[in-house]
Chains A and B, each alone.
Chain A
């Protein structure tokens, strides 16, 4: 081993160790922020290691430096700007976009090496290039579709909801396989076929998936981008790339599984079941509301004032209305009046697991007040008032009582056990699942219609008139 090789070897080893510690630390609240920085440091270390190795061996030409600098500056600049500017509510879309670009990067490297071979062309090379192109393309188009759907730029077209989609996707998949084997057999012209059909496959597979399942898909695509990175590692013969890619791929898979569990969906039904609403309208579309009680903000304020214990159930509607700060003001008033306030966070509240925690933390809600579902569920019978803000499916008692419901078996918050439930909602529209919510029909439930932010603002006014929190 020469000196540059030894140096690179040591740096790579250190980088892998730090990356592993980083991922590990990211799974604990206390260490998460430092762990993220540690991982970022490990990544920069790996770049230094690689560049110093080439400087010590073959050298790096001025021309190469120029292209390295151009690519780095443009990529980092756009990434940093987007990361600083993007609102917290669109976090899932942002992660999807970043992820897609990672896939694109693997795809491009493999393409470049395939067209202009940098080392001798071996079978292993061909296999890894093909895998890299295939997975990279699916990751890219799939992530972009996921992002567009979450942003509302794209809705599910009719054919993607019908059975036709399975046929279409099977055709794409078979075509990718044919191109794949052609390429391995040395027929380099099928490379473009592989790029095109695997891109189409990524679109075809992601397009039918409903909004509620999108986080699972993003997590899965994240896992794919790790696999794509590992494949690119085989292409350029880098162990560091293979280890890091494999770690992300495996960790992403576990995370996907955890998310599926939280939503009571199997990965298979997420991927091939299409959007839940499309199949369920037939079975439970007949459900009409018979016993809706609506009430004014004033009544809501009066009930809140008399309460001892209040539980807030925030949902995505709250985030869309950007009402988390207003909500915080309401709860501050209640707390000043000696009322105990707790936030009940369903594992899939918001659009991604943990998304709601991020949004509430942004509004300075103390971390201790955020309670997870299993912790808070036994508390509901002893609770005076529950405020449901823009949440729907996660508080549907059907999931417990009605075995014919598509939601049956999904873990939900038992808000109906509380003395009074206020549901702040814009209208009677159904949640993501498109399923009727039996909660709204219960005698202890009152609906407060209106935009979450406006209702909360009115609530602050009413509470002020009642002298709550003025002491």
Chain B
């Protein structure tokens, strides 16, 4: 992939992000932030690449592994916490007579 093509990808990705969130009810600001935050843990792919391409270089393996740990902490924790918050909204009808 040439650098120019990657720049196109960056541009289009940014535009997509700007368009996706048009009107968000305030109720969902916190869950949305937390969900988007989980997605930013996608750097785990970079960490994985690092480990696979390390070719036995132990320091790089360790750095990659720690990085993977941090990223997965972000991803797994982020999605679980978002789900916990959203689960509370979906319980609503049980109390209405």
Contact = CB atoms under 8 A, between A and B. Distances in A.
Query: Do A and B interact?
Result: yes
Given A251-B17, A255-B32, A108 B40 contact: no
Interface string B29-53: 1111111111111111111111111
A445 interface: no
B24 to A, nearest CB: 4
B81 A250 contact: no
A240 interface: yes
Contacts of B16: 20, 243, 246-247, 250
A10 interface: no
B35 A111 contact: no
Contacts of B15: 250
Interface in A52-104: 54, 58, 60-61, 63-64, 67-68, 70-72, 74-76, 78-80, 82-84, 86, 88, 91-92, 94-95, 98-99, 101-102, 104
A358 B72 contact: no
Contacts of A51: 48
Given A27-B32, A61-B56, A75-B68, A33 B90 contact: yes
A358 to B, nearest CB: 5
Interface string B53-97: 111110111111111111111111111111111111111111110
B82 to A, nearest CB: 5
Contacts of A250: 13-18
A421 interface: no
B71 to A, nearest CB: 4
Contacts of A199: none
A244 B48 contact: no
Interface in B1-25: 1, 3, 6, 9-18, 20-25
Contacts of A108: 47, 63-64, 66-67, 70
A48 to B, nearest CB: 11
A52 to B, nearest CB: 12
Given A29-B89, A250-B18, A354-B30, A36 B13 contact: no
A364 interface: yes
A281 interface: no
B32 A236 contact: no
Interface stretch (A162-170, A225-233, A310-318, A425-433): A225-233
A53 B16 CA distance: 26
B42 A101 contact: no
B62 to A, nearest CB: 7
A229 B39 CA distance: 10
Contacts of B20: 20, 23-24, 27, 247, 251
For the residues of A in contact with B, the DSSP-based class is helix
Contacts of B45: 46-47, 50, 236, 238, 240-241
Q: How large is the interface on B (under 10, 10 to 19, 20 to 34, 35 or more residues)?
A: 35 or more
Given A23-B35, A27-B24, A106 B72 contact: no
A180 interface: no
B86 to A, nearest CB: 4
Nearest to A54: B52
A109 interface: yes
A86 B80 CA distance: 11
A91 B80 contact: no
B95 A71 contact: no
Nearest to B3: A124
A236 B94 CA distance: 49
A71 to B, nearest CB: 4
A47 B44 contact: yes
A397 interface: no
Contact of A366 (B14, B77, B96): B96
Contact of A39 (B11, B22, B39): B39
A210 B36 CA distance: 24
Contacts of A225: 37, 40
Contacts of A102: 37, 40-41, 43, 70-71, 74
Contacts of B93: 366
Contacts of B74: 79, 98-99, 101-102, 105
Contacts of A354: 26-31
Nearest to B2: A124
A219 B18 CA distance: 15
A26 B28 contact: yes
A98 B42 contact: no
B71 A75 contact: yes
A98 B78 contact: yes
B63 A245 contact: no
15 contacts: A19-B39, A26-B31, A36-B82, A39-B39, A43-B79, A58-B53, A79-B80, A86-B81, A101-B41, A101-B74, A105-B43, A255-B36, A357-B89, A361-B92, A372-B25
Interface of A: 19-20, 22-24, 26-29, 32-33, 35-37, 39-40, 43, 46-47, 50-51, 54, 58, 60-61, 63-64, 67-68, 70-72, 74-76, 78-80, 82-84, 86, 88, 91-92, 94-95, 98-99, 101-102, 104-106, 108-109, 111-113, 115-116, 118, 124, 218-219, 222, 225-226, 228-230, 232-255, 258-259, 262, 345, 347, 352-355, 357-358, 361-362, 364-368, 370, 372
